[in-house]
């Protein structure tokens, strides 16, 4: 996009300089992520580019580290590919076990965080609610308090109630960390909510349950989905709380990556990181599409 025709020489220069600066900052932020992707195809067990990779030699690239995700920990990785091989990988491969845990924990943590965060946002949107600012500060405190403090507090509390090293404890911990994101996104959606619609429905005889599911929920659904995606990403990416609360059986992908860096350095970590980057990009793209849809529905942007 060119600078406006009415801009002066200094304004035109700053127009282009500002965009160059923004581009360099963006490159600085994403370059460490971009470098991981080609390194995950390295044929050699190194965390650096080989001469063959720099010269784009096809022989220097391989999918061995992506295969290692499936076979690392298998009882018989050299067996012929088939149902027995897939069953062995599903039950014994360490990375597959961690992925199962991450999706299992993330799924339930997202559901609980979305329900609790939506209910909290609906309460906070009521102007007659007392101590709204205090309650809001309390709800978003997991985003502000350093995670190491939160995780340590959870560890001592869950140890007393026998929830440490259990799936229930980790799900509850991730729920607490995901609720603030749901509260913020749903509250932002409710900012422009027309409450006259709910009052009209009530005047027509609809009970509160019907009003919520037929009027309120469809209008705030994009905010709920956005908050749920943020909560899922938070759970999927969390490592500090898992380090405190999980046992060997509850290892998630970040916990497995942490252990891999400490115990057995392998480029498989780069392959897993590439997969996580792709998942994050898909989720963020979904969030952006939902945000634009919400703006169109509210008339804040052209359709």
Domain 96-297 fold is MetI-like fold (1.10.3720)
What's the pTM value of the predicted model, to 2 decimals? 0.81
pLDDT at 303: 44
Angle at 267 between CA 264 and CA 271, to 5 degrees: 125
SS3 at position 42: strand
Please give the Cα distance from 244 to 247 (Å, whole number).
9
SS3 at position 61: strand
CA pseudo-torsion sign 103, 106, 109, 110: negative
CA distances from 173 to 57, 237, 238 (A): 47, 13, 10
Residue with tokens 């997202």: 110
pLDDT digits over 67-107, tens only? 888 888 888 888 888 888 888 888 888 889 999 999 999 99
SS3 at position 55: coil
Give the mean pLDDT of the chain: 85
Angle at 143 between CA 140 and CA 148, to 5 degrees: 130
SS3 at position 30: helix
Confidence of residue 299 (pLDDT cuts 50, 70, 90): low
Residue with tokens 């350095």: 265
Mean pLDDT of the region 185-201: 80
Nearest residue to 259 (alpha-carbon basis) of 239, 230, 237: 239
Nearest residue to 143 (alpha-carbon basis) of 228, 220, 225, 231: 231
């Amino acid at each position: 996009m060119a600078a406006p025709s009415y801009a002066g020489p200094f304004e035109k220069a700053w127009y282009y300089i500002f965009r160059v600066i923004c581009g360099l900052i963006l490159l600085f932020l994403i370059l460490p992520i971009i470098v991981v992707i080609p390194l995950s195809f390295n044929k050699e067990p190194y965390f650096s580019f080989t001469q063959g990779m720099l010269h784009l030699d096809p022989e220097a690239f391989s999918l061995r580290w992506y295969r290692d995700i499936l076979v690392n920990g298998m009882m018989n990785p050299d067996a012929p590919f088939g149902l027995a091989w897939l069953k062995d990988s599903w039950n014994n491969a360490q990375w597959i076990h961690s992925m199962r845990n991450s999706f299992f924990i993330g799924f339930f943590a997202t559901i609980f965080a979305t329900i609790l965060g939506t209910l909290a946002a609906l309460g906070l949107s009521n102007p007659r609610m007392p101590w709204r600012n205090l309650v809001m500060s309390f709800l978003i405190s997991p985003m502000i308090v350093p995670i190491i403090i939160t995780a340590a507090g959870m560890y001592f509390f869950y140890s007393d109630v026998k929830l440490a090293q259990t799936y229930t404890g980790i799900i509850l911990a991730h729920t607490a960390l995901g609720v603030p994101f749901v509260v913020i996104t749903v509250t932002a959606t409710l900012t422009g909510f027309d409450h006259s619609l709910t009052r009209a429905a009530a005047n027509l005889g609809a009970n509160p349950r019907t009003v919520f599911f037929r009027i309120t929920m469809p209008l705030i659904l994009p905010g709920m989905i956005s908050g749920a995606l943020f909560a899922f990403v938070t759970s999927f990416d969390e490592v500090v709380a898992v380090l405190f609360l999980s046992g060997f059986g509850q290892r998630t992908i970040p916990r497995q990556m942490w252990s891999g860096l400490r115990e057995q350095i392998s480029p498989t970590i780069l392959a897993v990181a590439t997969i996580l980057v792709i998942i994050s990009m898909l989720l963020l793209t979904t969030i952006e599409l939902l945000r634009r849809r919400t703006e169109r529905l509210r008339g804040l942007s052209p359709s």
